[in-house]
Amino acid sequence: MHSIRLISFGYLHLPTGPDHSPIPPAADRTEDVRDRLRDPAAARNILDLDGLNPRVQDIVLKTPGARELLTNLTDYANLPAGPRRIAIGCAGGKHRAAGLTKLLARELRACGRQVDVDHLHVHLPRVLKATNTGASA
């Protein structure tokens, strides 16, 4: 089975197209978690952490719907003619997207998959500006 590339990103850091909508990274599947998963940055004790930190990953995983989404993405990635690239985005790319991407990489590696991970925006400062959906980093 081929290797898979996982990409985490923040919609607020993306270039925009002519219609002013963000242009996500090229992928076979792009998962927008801004409305699906609660922003863990609301927990004040993790504001200075990012999704690469196990504490943040634990909070993301305990968010309602996160385990189901992780299972769905794992199943999708393991399809016989499955994807080569999956992109996961949240508002700033620092907490939800990076944490879920890290968790997905762990799941896929446990299934014996070769996984490459790119966290495009995890190291950028937390975005405080609200998005159209009202979510923040």
Reply yes or no on whether the pLDDT at 44 is more than 80: no
**Confidence (pLDDT) at 2:** 85
CA–CA distance, 29 with 43 (Å, rounded to integer)? 29
Mean of pLDDT values over 2-18: 95
Query: Dihedral, CA atoms, 56, 6, 120, 90, nearest 10 degrees?
Result: -60
- On the question of pLDDT at 128 being above 90, the answer is no
pLDDT single digits (tens) 26-40: 999 999 999 999 887
CA distance 65 to 20: 30
pLDDT of 105 over the 80 cut? yes
How many helical (H) and strand (E) elements, i.e. helices and strands, does the chain have?
Answer: 3, 4
Question: Model confidence over 50-85: pLDDT tens digits?
Answer: 999 999 999 999 999 999 999 999 999 999 988 999
CA-CA-CA-CA torsion sign (83, 84, 90, 95): positive
Q: Going along the chain, which residue ranges are E strands? A: 4-10, 29-32, 85-90, 115-119
DSSP-derived secondary structure for 85-123 = EEEEEESSSSSHHHHHHHHHHHHHHHTT--EEEEESSTT
What is the reported pTM? 0.89
Structure tokens at 60: 């993301």
Distance CA 117, CA 137 (A): 20
pLDDT at 100: 98
Sign of CA dihedral 61, 99, 58, 130: negative
Residue 127: the pLDDT is 72
